Structure 1
Amino acid sequence: MGNSLLAFILLCTFFSGNAEVRELKVKITLIANRTTIPAGGSVTLTCDLKERSDLLYQWFRETLPGNKITLDDQFTRVISISKEGIYTCRGWRRDPDLITTESDPVTILKTVLAAVKLQHSWSQIFTGETITLRCEIQGGEGKVWKYEWTAPNTNSPPTSSEYRISRVSVSHSGDYRCRGSSDYLLTGWNDAFTLTVSYKPKAKLRADNTAVPVGGSVTLTCSVNPSSSSGWKYYWYRDEKSSEALTTQDAVFHSNGQISVSQEGLYRCRGGRGNPVYYTEDSQSVRIGKTVTASNRPVVTLYPNWSEIYRGETITVRCEIHGGDTEWDYEWETNSRIKAPNQNEYRIRSASSSNSGNYRCKGRMKSSQHKTTEWSDSVTLTVSD
């Protein structure tokens, strides 16, 4: 540091106070070990004058036309630089007073990093969507850049930072790269961004029941596969010809993709995302009916109808629906540890305490699954030791 400061003071005195400077008519040569500064690296410059070994050196850097600055802290023959620009050098000495001519200029470029990014929060892309890829350059803020792209399925890629593809197709799948250049700055080709375009998906609709119970509702769930795709909002429709999506007046909206409905009808759904909105294919339709309560009310009976049942006895729990010759499907509800089958009789061959509990049943017409009876009164079965 002391030697550099002394050399700088001598240099200032030399060029300001001595009019008898003799120019050494020997061409000095500037040599660079490379002309591009790698990201995070440096370039070595050598001011070469083989005929003289007793010189100090002066270095210059130009970043804009006419804006040449002196590197005041560099006086050695070999320097390491990490800034872009046009460099020149010359040699000088004090005794006898002489200075060389300035070297030919060497342009040093600096490499910064570029990356291609998809401007969406989802990674799965489908045919027909509109997408935008962006070339982002780290460390190039405030610069005016010229961009280059390499991309599949195109002979004329854009020259801007954004690559917008309307109605993308499977043929757009492949590797995308970009690079830029600006004022002695440039990027290499970035690591490839691989775009995969899949065929248009179809929404899937699932219902927890196909009949609205009396005073209740049915929950419908809409989803889009594959599960890795994201960003979907869901749109619901009732009846085949309706193109108007359901609103909060028609259904209760829960978490995204799930609603509850209490009206009968033919329901379908689809997913949509992006701007403009890209829609999936409609789901299959699901018909939701309304449950009608039959006037027949079942009765649960025990056979034999003894007041005390002991472990090991055989007993039958029966659901009886009186009136007419209607055929029924049966449904049981019990808090016993062993569940009853959906038949009109539940035969217990060797009763145990695990069969103890309350039993009730209802019937659903086989000819009309939307028509059911009310629940029967509960009958308590207690099995003693």
Structure 2
Amino acid sequence: KLQHSWSQIFTGETITLRCEIQGGEGKVWKYEWTAPNTNSPPTSSEYRISRVSVSHSGDYRCRGSSDYLFTGWSDAFRLTVSFPSKPTVTLQPSWPQIYSGETVTVRCEIQGGEGAQWTYEWRAAKLNTPPTSNEYRIIRATESDSGGYSCRGRRDYFFLEWSDIITLTVSYKPKAKLSADNTAVPVGGSVTLTCSVSPSSSSGWKYYWYRDEKSSEALNTQDAVFHSNGQISVSQEGLYRCRGGRGNPVYYTEDITASNRPVVTLYPNWSEIHRGETITVRCEIHGGDTEWDYEWETNSMIKGPNQNEYRIRSASSSNSGNYRCKGRMKSSQHETTEWSDSVTLTVSDNVHSAASLTVSPDRVQHFTSDSVSLTCEGNFPEWRVRKFSEDGRLSDCRRMTGSTCDINTSKSDTGVYWCESGSGEFSSAVNITVQNDGNVSILVSPVHPVTEGASVSLSCSLRTQKILSNVFFYHNDKLIENDPRGELKISAVSKSDEGFYKCQYSGRESLDTSVSVLLCAPLQFHQRGNLAVCVNAAAFRCHRAATVCFSSLVFYFLLSPDSAVPVKQVSKRAQLTRTIQQRSKQRISM
């Protein structure tokens, strides 16, 4: 009789077959074996095969002999050696997105090895003591459970290879999204509400509906008409909520409430708006704007239109006041929303007079010995052009003719320039960079930030040739297009076009130049924290290129990318100069 302890054998394992002769315990036996793939079978009662392979599959028999007595051959024992497959890690439930608080089971599966007795080993993101079974359950998953998981099986000293890694991603608890085709119930009609969970790739959700904020009883078919999962129609007024649930036990999202009360928002949402700035007042009704006429109520001198938003250009103190709105259905002028809460808009008339600086030729980079003119413009009798050099020195232009500073450029003229009037008004600042190698090209780009939506052209120039062809352009060190050209034209500049640009000609690169984008032309400024704000638009931020932003008392200078040096309020110009020089080595984050 042949015996073996395992019913399933895999390549690489060690197997022992044992021949037992029942009733022959008192005799000395010699054993014979018939086996596939062997020329010298053993003569003992055990047949041991180390590192078994598929070629060892087949029928095995044995018999015993003592003196001249032979037993009959045993029944055949068929040995089947399998090649084990690579383990696979699966997640249950198999949703592409798991959320914080859900329960998930990680399982190790060995195809073809279901009947074998395996001990499992795990490599996991958050397992200090991994289990030895083929699965483990994560109850109330957290973001720290995210990571890669792999496993393998072991029998005695035989190991399978590690499975491929499966990645578990646990995200923050989601919030349901509720939308309505209308937020006022027409007489005799209904409103369709839709509940969903983002992202749309998440699956397995069932939706639960509630009416009135304190109600904990979910709506049923007597309260609403249920359409596809996540959509209902209601004909009764009220405050509706929904949430999504999935799994067993049910895991719920945060709920969301739908109300027919609009919300008034200001953009930009600053506590104080200055004269000349642009401000948008917007009425938002959940469920879409196209179905509504809008009514505004304000105690300002300016009345709002019947649209969901209106833009106040060049704001003044007459626009100050409280604003609230409500919606009226276009299809039924008797159906309206509630009035929104009021939002207060304050417009200050306290701004500074305009001052500006123009540069001719209008470009940042210049060659040595170029003639450059910097002209101050504004309604002031006295001007001076000031420079902050690369080595941190503050100086005035030595060749001033009226309101114009003339420079015959040299390397020491690289710096930041601005105009200052006799009464202390400042212009915006510009960068001037001097290239002292006449064999290297310069990038021709405007000295001032470009207004959003405007067009701009960048080109490349040598001292001996004004506009070059076969030029490659780079934006933030990335090649823009892999074909040479003469100019880089941007027809409508947006904030995404901001950054550092350079050109390459004949294998040699120009210096970097920063191109900044404004929401307006910088005509007038006032201080807003570490922002200088141009009067007829939104914020002008000090960009990481060396830029000076001014107000009447405080200005900020960027010594290097992503840092700024604040200069405290001072009363004397000499003290201001010393403060700049003393702080020229300091750095703080914007």
Q: 1:137 to 1:70 in 2, by over 3 A?
A: farther
1:184 Cα deviation after fit:
7.4
The residue type paired with residue 242 of structure 1 is S
Of 364, 370, 378, 2:333 maps to: 364
Q: Which runs of 5+ in 1 are unaligned?
A: 1-35, 44-60, 86-107, 289-327, 331-341, 344-360, 371-385
Write the deviation string for residues 300-343 of structure 1: whole angstroms up to 9, x where unpaired: xxxxxxxxxxxxxxxxxxxxxxxxxxxx969xxxxxxxxxxx99
Of 85, 92, 100, 1:127 maps to: 100
Of 275, 282, 286, 2:248 maps to: 275
Paired with 1:83 and 1:187, the residues of 2 have a C-alpha distance of 19
Q: 1:62 to 1:151 in 2, by over 3 A?
A: closer
- Residue 175 of structure 1 aligns to a residue whose secondary structure is strand
Q: 1:116 to 1:329 in 2, by over 3 A?
A: closer
Aligned to 1:81: 53
Paired with 2:232 and 2:181, the residues of 1 have a C-alpha distance of 11
Paired with 1:189 and 1:238, the residues of 2 have a C-alpha distance of 52
Aligned to 2:200: 227
Aligned to 1:194: 167
Contact 1:221 1:257 in 2 (8 A): yes
Q: 1:287 to 1:245 in 2, by over 3 A?
A: farther
Q: 1:185 to 1:110 in 2, by over 3 A?
A: farther
1:224 Cα deviation after fit:
0.3
1:161 Cα deviation after fit:
1.1
Task: Give the number of aligned pairs.
Answer: 225
Q: How does 1:180-259 map to 2 (within 5 A)?
A: 180-182=153-155, 186-259=159-232
Bigger Rg, which one: 1
Q: 1:65 to 1:143 in 2, by over 3 A?
A: farther
Aligned to 2:85: 112
Q: How does 1:1-385 map to 2 (within 5 A)?
A: 37=11, 62-63=15-16, 70=33, 72-75=35-38, 81-82=53-54, 111-182=84-155, 186-287=159-260, 364-365=333-334, 368-369=336-337
Contact 2:177 2:195 in 1 (8 A): yes
- Residue 236 of structure 1 aligns to a residue whose secondary structure is strand
Greater relative contact order (Cα < 8 A, sep 6+): 1
Contact 1:112 1:185 in 2 (8 A): no
1:287 Cα deviation after fit:
3.9
Paired with 1:253 and 1:264, the residues of 2 have a C-alpha distance of 17
- Residue 219 of structure 2 aligns to a residue whose secondary structure is coil
After TM superposition, the structure 1 stretch with the greater mean CA deviation from structure 2, 126-135 or 67-76, is 67-76
Aligned to 1:307: none
Aligned to 2:567: none
The residue type paired with residue 165 of structure 1 is I
Write the deviation string for residues 195-239 of structure 1: whole angstroms up to 9, x where unpaired: 111111100000001111121110000000011110000011111
Contact 1:84 1:185 in 2 (8 A): no
Write the deviation string for residues 55-98 of structure 1: whole angstroms up to 9, x where unpaired: xxxxxx84566689955332458x9932789xxxxxxxxxxxxx
Q: 1:69 to 1:140 in 2, by over 3 A?
A: farther
1:268 Cα deviation after fit:
1.0
Paired with 2:205 and 2:35, the residues of 1 have a C-alpha distance of 60
Paired with 2:236 and 2:186, the residues of 1 have a C-alpha distance of 10
Aligned to 2:421: none
Write the deviation string for residues 94-128 of structure 1: whole angstroms up to 9, x where unpaired: xxxxxxxxxxxxxx996432110011141111111
Q: 1:70 to 1:184 in 2, by over 3 A?
A: farther
- Residue 241 of structure 2 aligns to a residue whose secondary structure is strand
Paired with 1:234 and 1:219, the residues of 2 have a C-alpha distance of 14
Paired with 1:65 and 1:156, the residues of 2 have a C-alpha distance of 39
Q: 1:111 to 1:172 in 2, by over 3 A?
A: same
TM-score (normalizing by structure 1): 0.51
Contact 1:126 1:168 in 2 (8 A): yes
1:369 Cα deviation after fit:
4.6
- Residue 268 of structure 1 aligns to a residue whose secondary structure is strand
Paired with 2:331 and 2:113, the residues of 1 have a C-alpha distance of 74
Paired with 2:220 and 2:256, the residues of 1 have a C-alpha distance of 18
The residue type paired with residue 173 of structure 2 is K
Q: 1:110 to 1:214 in 2, by over 3 A?
A: same
Paired with 2:248 and 2:55, the residues of 1 have a C-alpha distance of 42
Q: 1:70 to 1:190 in 2, by over 3 A?
A: farther
Query: Alignment RMSD, CA only?
Result: 3.8
Q: 1:69 to 1:131 in 2, by over 3 A?
A: farther
Write the deviation string for residues 255-305 of structure 1: whole angstroms up to 9, x where unpaired: 0000000110000111100001111111133349xxxxxxxxxxxxxxxxx
Paired with 1:152 and 1:227, the residues of 2 have a C-alpha distance of 27
Paired with 2:112 and 2:217, the residues of 1 have a C-alpha distance of 49
Contact 2:37 2:55 in 1 (8 A): no
Contact 1:83 1:110 in 2 (8 A): no
Write the deviation string for residues 233-261 of structure 1: whole angstroms up to 9, x where unpaired: 00111111111111111100000000000
Q: 1:273 to 1:64 in 2, by over 3 A?
A: farther
- Residue 171 of structure 1 aligns to a residue whose secondary structure is helix
Paired with 2:108 and 2:116, the residues of 1 have a C-alpha distance of 14
- Residue 162 of structure 2 aligns to a residue whose secondary structure is coil
1:363 Cα deviation after fit:
5.2
Aligned to 1:373: none
After TM superposition, the structure 1 stretch with the greater mean CA deviation from structure 2, 121-130 or 272-281, is 121-130
- Residue 87 of structure 2 aligns to a residue whose secondary structure is strand
Paired with 1:141 and 1:160, the residues of 2 have a C-alpha distance of 13
The residue type paired with residue 81 of structure 1 is S
Q: 1:219 to 1:181 in 2, by over 3 A?
A: same
